């Protein structure tokens, strides 16, 4: 199986589980995030990162909602590791940094915390809470900082029950264009 077929299969067959405490599933969340990025005119790398930002949830065996059991599944690290075999930093770094971007935005923007879903609030505590001043500066120095922050904003917005999006197959050409295989 090629990596593109494997990604499509993961998103179509393993992503039916509920996305934490939201009323949508992992697949709908991924499709909504990618659709938002595409609608805003972003390049294939950010569309792909948006589609695959939570792939780490699909490649571990901790169940649908480990945060509910007080476990940080480190899905951003798992996803990054899994993706680096096939994609460059323009895709993998925003995925790796999207959790840090949540911490960053909570430390940088006074109103961002109020935008978090209940799941994101719960996982934020497990992930280290809002960043302090030194962490904010270090995060801003990351080469893919801006893409990670944009991806994070899509992540928070991509939790709408019943939102119509294109299917997984619609995004696979963009994924293919940035895949190194």
pLDDT of residue 143: 96
If one counts every other C-beta atom within 10 angstroms of the C-beta of residue 162, the result is: 7
pLDDT of residue 172: 98
Instruction: Strands of the chain (E only): list them.
Output: none
* Secondary structure (3-state) at 153: helix
Give me the mean pLDDT over the 91-112 stretch.
95
Q: Which two tokens stand for residue 159?
A: 């939790």
Share of the chain above pLDDT 70, in %: 86
Rounded to whole angstroms, the Cα distance separating 61 from 164 reads: 29
134 exposure class (CB count in 10 Å sphere: 0-12, 13-18, 19+):
exposed
Radius of gyration of the chain (CA): 15
Q: For residue range 106-116, what is the model confidence (pLDDT) as tens digits?
A: 999 989 999 88
pLDDT of residue 123: 79
Q: Whole-model pTM?
A: 0.88
Give me the mean pLDDT over the 89-116 stretch.
94
- Residue with more model confidence, 42 or 25: 42
User: What is the domain range of residue 170?
Assistant: 3-15+24-178
Is residue 149 within 8 A of residue 46, CB to CB? The reply is: no
CATH code for position 149: 1.10.3210.10
Q: Which two tokens stand for residue 24?
A: 């949508």
Give me the mean pLDDT over the 37-43 stretch.
98
63: left (phi over 0), alpha (psi -120 to 50) or beta: left
The total number of structural domains that make up the chain: 1
Q: How far is CA 145 from CA 30, 34, 106, 151, in A?
A: 20, 18, 15, 10
Rounded to whole angstroms, the Cα distance separating 5 from 1 reads: 6
Is residue 139 within 8 A of residue 131, CB to CB? The reply is: yes
Q: For residue range 121-130, what is the model confidence (pLDDT) as tens digits?
A: 887 888 889 9
Give me the mean pLDDT over the 79-100 stretch.
95
């Amino acid at each position: 199986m090629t990596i593109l077929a494997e990604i499509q299969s993961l998103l179509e067959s393993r992503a039916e589980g509920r996305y934490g405490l939201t009323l949508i599933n992992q697949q709908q969340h991924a499709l909504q995030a990618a659709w938002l990025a595409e609608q805003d005119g972003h390049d294939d790398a950010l569309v792909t990162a948006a589609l695959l930002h939570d792939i780490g949830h699909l490649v571990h065996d901790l169940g649908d909602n480990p945060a509910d059991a007080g476990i940080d599944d480190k899905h951003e690290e798992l996803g990054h590791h899994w993706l680096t075999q096939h994609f460059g930093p323009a895709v993998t770094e925003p995925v790796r940094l999207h959790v840090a971007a949540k911490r960053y935005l909570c430390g940088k923007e006074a109103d961002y915390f109020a935008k978090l879903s209940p799941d994101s609030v719960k996982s934020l505590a497990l992930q280290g809470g809002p960043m302090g001043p030194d962490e904010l500066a270090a995060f801003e120095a990351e080469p893919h900082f801006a893409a990670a922050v944009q991806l994070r904003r899509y992540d928070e917005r991509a939790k709408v029950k019943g939102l119509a999006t294109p299917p997984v197959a619609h995004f696979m050409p963009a994924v293919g264009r940035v895949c190194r295989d």
